[in-house]
Copies of this chain bind each other. A is one copy, B any other.
Amino acid sequence: MAETKKKMKIVVSLDLGPEVMPLLYNRDDLEIIAWPHASSSGKEWLVKNIAGADGCIIMLFEKIDDEVLDAAGPNLKVVSTMSVGYDHVDLKALAKRGVRLGNTPDVLTESVADSSVMLALMAGRNTKEGTNLVEKGQWPGWSWSPYGLCGPQISPNSPADIRTVGFIGFGRIAQATLARMIGFGYTRCLYVARSKDPARAADIEQTIKARHPTLTTVKRVELDELARESDVVYILAPGGSETYHIVDEKFLKQMKKTAVLVNNARGTLVDSDALAKALKEGWLWGAGLDVVEGEPNITADHPLVKEPRCVMIPHIGSATWESRIGMATMSVNNLFAGLERQPMVSEVQLPK
C-alpha cells in the first residue's frame, strides 16, 4: 500500500544521543532534519532549516523569536526545548501563532540538587585554592598549618549550633536541595517566592515540616531577611525580567560574612560586578556558580574567575547521564504530544 500522507518535518538542533535519536528516526511519518554535531546548532542554522517544519527540538542556545517563527511558517505546531528554563523563548510570539511549548523539568531535579550542594560545600571550603595548589604542584612547598585554608563550616558542629538555609525560589529543585541539607544538620529553612498568599505559605510549611520533622522553621520571607539570616543561599528560581539581578549589591551587603551563595539557576539573577566586589571585600565568604551572566563568553580574566573563593563550573549542573537522557527523552515525547495535539509530559503555559 502506497504511503500517501506527507511526512511531518521535524528540525532538531542538537544530537540527542544514541539512546534517544532512534525514537525520532524509527517513526516513518517524520522527516528528521538534525544538526549532526555534539554541540547544539545555534539560531542561524535553525532559521535556515526550519521552513515548513511541523515541530522542533531545541536547547537554550537557540533563541526562539519572531525571526525563527516567521522562518518556520504556519505549519509549526510545537517547540520542544530540552531544558527546564525557557527564557530563551518568546512566549508571546508563540502564543500569537498558537504554537505550543514543551520543557523538561523533574528529570533533572536530583542532579541539580546534587550539584547545588556540591557548589555550596566547595565555596565554603576553599576548594578552588586547594585543588589549584595540588594541581600546580605546590603541595610540597605548602606549609600545613592549623588554620591554613580554613573556611566556615557548612554544617553545625554541635546541636547548639543552628544553621539556616535560604532559597530564592522554592520549587522542586529547591525542595530536593533542602532534603539534602537536613542530613547536614540544618534545622531552619527560609525562602523567597513569587506568591505572597499566606494560605499557600502555611500549606507549604505544613507539607515540608511533615516531610522533615527535624526542621523547626519553614518560612516565606522577604529578600532582606533571607540575606541576613541564611548560612547558605541557593538561587533556584527562573530567569527572565522578573528576577533580573535579584541578588544585587544591597542583597550581598546584608549577607553573613561566613555565608555562601550558590547560583544553579540562570546567570541573570546575580549582578556579577556586585558579586565580584562582595567577594573581594569579604561581604560574604564564597560563591559557587554553575551559571553566570554572559556565559559562555567568560574569559580567564573575568573578575569572578579571578576570585579565589568563587567556584565556577560551565553550566553542567544537570550533567548526569540519568538527567540528560531523561531530558532528551522527555523533549521527544513533548514533541510527539505537540504534533498529535495530545497533553504533553510538561507544557509551558503561554500568555493569553
Contact = CB atoms under 8 A, between A and B. Distances in A.
Given A110-B155, A155-B113, A183-B182, A324 B147 contact: yes
Contacts of A118: 118, 121-122, 125, 127
Given A40-B144, A299-B140, A319 B157 contact: no
Interface in A91-139: 107, 110-111, 113-115, 117-118, 121-122, 124-128, 130-137, 139
Contacts of A157: 107, 110-111, 320, 322-323, 326
Most central of A121, A157, A322 by chain B CB within 10 Å: A157
Contact of A150 (B298, B315, B321): B321
Q: Which bracket fits the contact residues of A?
A: 35 or more
Contact of A15 (B131, B145, B179): B145
Given A305-B134, A316-B149, A143 B321 contact: no
B298 A145 contact: no
A92 B186 CA distance: 43
Counting every copy of the chain, the complex holds 2
Contacts of A40: 143-146
B126 A298 contact: no
A312 B143 contact: no
Nearest to A212: B183
Most central of A39, A118, A143, A148 by chain B CB within 10 Å: A118
A85 to B, nearest CB: 14
Given A126-B319, A319-B125, A146 B110 contact: no
A300 B136 contact: yes
A273 B259 CA distance: 39
B111 A153 contact: yes
Given A17-B147, A149-B319, 20 more contacts: A14-B145, A37-B145, A82-B146, A114-B121, A114-B153, A114-B184, A117-B121, A118-B127, A125-B316, A130-B313, A131-B313, A134-B305, A135-B300, A137-B298, A137-B299, A142-B314, A147-B324, A149-B314, A150-B316, A152-B321
Interface of A: 14-17, 37-40, 59-61, 82, 107, 110-111, 113-115, 117-118, 121-122, 124-128, 130-137, 139-140, 142-157, 161, 179-185, 295-301, 305, 311-316, 319-324, 326-328
